[in-house]
């Protein structure tokens, strides 16, 4: 999973980019705990924006020649009787809106193409576009709409491959990022119940426990995972963050140092070193 597809749960806890990609970012040392499991740009009390409104707003921001181009392609979608023609038209709309930096609209058309293609790969790619953008959406109504789009695309992909736990974890993250953390947690627990050895799901649940101040629960879960995966850098890293959040700085530093032994990226090791220095 790419870094842009991963939700960050806050500066005071282990970043989920560590969970999925071990990218070149580590937490800052602020100690203020978060009050919720994830950002809630599109909470439950927010109504999603209608796509017609989103599209009309986007059309009002583009040059006349581009608007003519978009309207022409839209006509091709309406007239296209063959599925392949509609897919091609939707992909054209995606490319056009993407070039105009209207990302939610672009993602919508890619999603429509993916639904018609009905392949796990295309559905997952489109869903992850929504997941990546909704994290930064300034309008909660847009974030809520994007979440709904992503969830539906993940649902269709999961139907094609029910054994793909990565899809289920990604969908859970959408729920947790849009004001439905317990729905997301329930889905993660389903994954863990079926596959206790799924490190990504286990570490995500532990990370969520950290954000809600349940440090002992996070530690208990990760210590259990560590028994069978003693050399897993992300498990060690988030376990270290659990102890740091709890206030056991010495144990945290010991585990951060140990996690570095299993990292292959020299630059990431340097960032972890800097993080360790910041909390001493």
User: Over the chain, what HEC string results?
Assistant: CCHHHCCCCCCCCCCHHHHHCCCCCCCCCCCCCCCCCCCECCCCCCCCCCHHHHHHHHHCCCCHHHHHHHHHHHHHHHHCCCHHHHHHHHHHHHHHHHHCCCHHHHHHHHHHHHHHHCCHHHHHHHHHHHHHHHCCCCCHHHHHHHHHHHHHHHHHHHHHCCCCHHHHHHHHHHHHHECCHHHHHHHHHHHHHHCCCCHHHHHHHHHHHHHCCCHHHHHHHHHHHHHHCCCCHHHHHHHHHHHHHHCCHHHHHHHHHHHHCCCCCHHHHHHHHHHHHHHC
Task: Give pLDDT, residue 25.
Answer: 40
Considering the chain, tell me which residue range(s) the CATH 1.25.40.10 domain(s) occupy.
1-38+179-280
Task: Give pLDDT, residue 140.
Answer: 92
Its pTM stands at 0.77
Task: Give pLDDT, residue 136.
Answer: 84
CATH topology (fold) of 1-38+179-280: 1.25.40
Task: Give pLDDT, residue 14.
Answer: 37
Task: Give pLDDT, residue 33.
Answer: 32
CATH topology (fold) of 44-174: 1.25.40
Tell me the per-residue pLDDT of 127-136, one tens digit each, with 9 for 90 and over.
999 998 987 8
Task: Give pLDDT, residue 207.
Answer: 87
Spans in the chain with pLDDT lower than 50: 1-26, 28-40
Task: Give pLDDT, residue 82.
Answer: 84
């Amino acid at each position: 999973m790419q870094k842009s597809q991963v939700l960050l749960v806050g500066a005071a806890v282990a970043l989920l980019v560590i969970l999925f990609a071990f990218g070149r970012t580590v937490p800052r040392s602020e100690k203020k705990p978060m009050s919720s499991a994830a950002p809630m740009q599109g909470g439950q009390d927010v109504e999603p924006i209608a796509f017609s409104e989103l599209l009309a707003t986007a059309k009002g921001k583009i040059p006349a020649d581009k608007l003519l181009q978009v309207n022409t392609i839209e006509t091709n979608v309406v007239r296209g009787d063959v599925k392949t023609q509609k897919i091609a038209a939707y992909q054209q709309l995606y490319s056009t809106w993407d070039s105009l930096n209207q990302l939610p609209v672009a993602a919508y058309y890619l999603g429509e193409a993916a639904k018609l293609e009905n392949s796990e790969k295309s559905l997952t790619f489109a869903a992850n576009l929504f997941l990546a953008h909704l994290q930064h959406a300034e309008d909660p109504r847009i974030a809520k709409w994007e979440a709904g789009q992503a969830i539906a695309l993940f649902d269709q992909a999961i139907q094609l491959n029910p054994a793909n736990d990565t899809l289920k974890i990604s969908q859970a993250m959408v729920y947790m990022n849009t004001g439905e953390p317990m729905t997301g947690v329930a889905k993660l627990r389903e994954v863990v119940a079926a596959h206790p050895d799924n490190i990504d799901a286990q570490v995500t649940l532990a990370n969520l426990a950290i954000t809600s101040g349940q440090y002992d629960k996070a530690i208990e879960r990760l210590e259990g995972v560590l028994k069978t995966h003693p050399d897993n850098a992300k498990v060690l890293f988030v376990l270290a963050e659990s102890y740091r959040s709890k206030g056991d700085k010495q144990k945290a530093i010991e585990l951060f140092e140990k996690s570095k032994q299993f990292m292959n990226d020299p630059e990431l090791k340097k960032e972890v070193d800097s993080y360790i220095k910041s909390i001493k």
